[in-house]
Amino acid sequence: MWKPVLLLLLVALTAARAGAQGNTRAPNVIVLLADDLGWKDLGCYGSSFYETPNLDRLAAAGTRFTQAYATSPVCSPTRASILTGKYPVRTGVTDWIRGRQEAGVARPFEKLVAQQTAYQLALEEKTLAETAREQGYQTFFAGKWHLGEEEAYWPAAQGFQVNKGGWSNGAPTGRINDSTGGFFTPYANPTLTDGPAGEYLTDR
């Protein structure tokens, strides 16, 4: 039977804390996922180089996990795993979409040919967002999705009521502040409203 392990764990831990304080409201659940973030790249995890005061405050008021591992070294399979509670091979998303070896051929420097990856998280998969909605939660997604090239597989189809920025691409399509869709408006992202001239994507 499918179980959204991460959500249940977060809710259980937070509910226990709320119960101890006499609070009967359902807890808010926020999951932050950052690609390529090192285990010690935040102040709350011991960084003396990177300054992350806002995340440190959030961690101090919430629950930190200190013994956890990503199921994949790349983005799409990791995100699919967190959303479904399954290993990448169980969802079929085993590489970033479309992957480095989409033709099934390894490059000269690659020693292995990877298993063919799915180009989307199947709609049959039950996500954390779908489970949360069944429990009366409102769901919101912002940022990088990269779990389906067609709109039919974007966040709105996977249980998220609000989607800001999540679509097929894993990164901005351009490189500079022009109409190619770079890190500055116009973003050329169908799920993200453009901002004033010169606005930076992170600020949006």
- Measure the CA–CA gap between 30 and 51, rounded to whole angstroms: 21
Residue 134 lies in a domain: yes
Examine residue 47 and state whether it is found in any structural domain, yes or no: no
Position with higher pLDDT, 175 vs 31: 31
Please indicate, yes or no, whether the overall pTM of this predicted structure exceeds 0.85: no
Lowest mean pLDDT among 41-45, 113-117, 127-131: 113-117
Q: What is the DSSP letter of 156?
A: G
User: Is 118 within the bounds of a domain?
Assistant: yes
State what percent of residues in the chain have pLDDT above 90.
50
DSSP characters for 88-129?
HHHHT--SSSS-TTTTS---TT--SPPPPPPSB--TTSPPHH
Does residue 93 sit within a domain?
yes
Residue 139 in any domain: the answer is yes
133 occurs within a structural domain: yes
Q: Does the annotation mark 146 as catalytic?
A: yes
Structural domain of 144: 5-31+69-164
For range 127-136, the mean pLDDT: 96
Report which of 131, 125, 140 is spatially closest to residue 5, judged by C-alpha positions: 131
- Does the pLDDT value for residue 198 go beyond 70? yes
What is the DSSP pairing of strand 140-142 with strand 162-164? parallel
User: How high is the pLDDT of residue 33?
Assistant: 86
Grouping H, G, I as helix, E, B as strand and the rest as coil, residue 23 is coil
Q: What pLDDT does residue 43 have? A: 96
- Which entry of 6, 74, 75, 82 is annotated as an active-site residue? 75
Instruction: Pick the most confident of 28-37, 129-138, 182-191.
Output: 129-138
12 belongs to a structural domain? yes
| Residue 1: strand, helix, or coil | coil
**What pLDDT digit, counting tens, does each position of 3-12 carry?**
444 444 455 5
Range with the poorest average pLDDT among 27-36, 55-64, 78-87: 27-36
The tally of domains found in the chain comes to 1
Percent of the chain surpassing pLDDT 70: 86
How far apart (Å, rounded) are the C-alpha atoms in residues 134 and 36?
Answer: 32
| Annotated catalytic residue within 86, 126, 144, 146 | 146
Q: Is residue 170 part of a domain?
A: no
| Mean pLDDT of all residues in 55-59 | 93
Instruction: Report CA torsion sign: 134, 135, 138, 142.
Output: negative
Whether the Cβ atoms of residue 84 and residue 114 lie closer than 8 Å to each other: no
Nearest CA-CA partner of 92 in 77, 75, 113, 72: 77
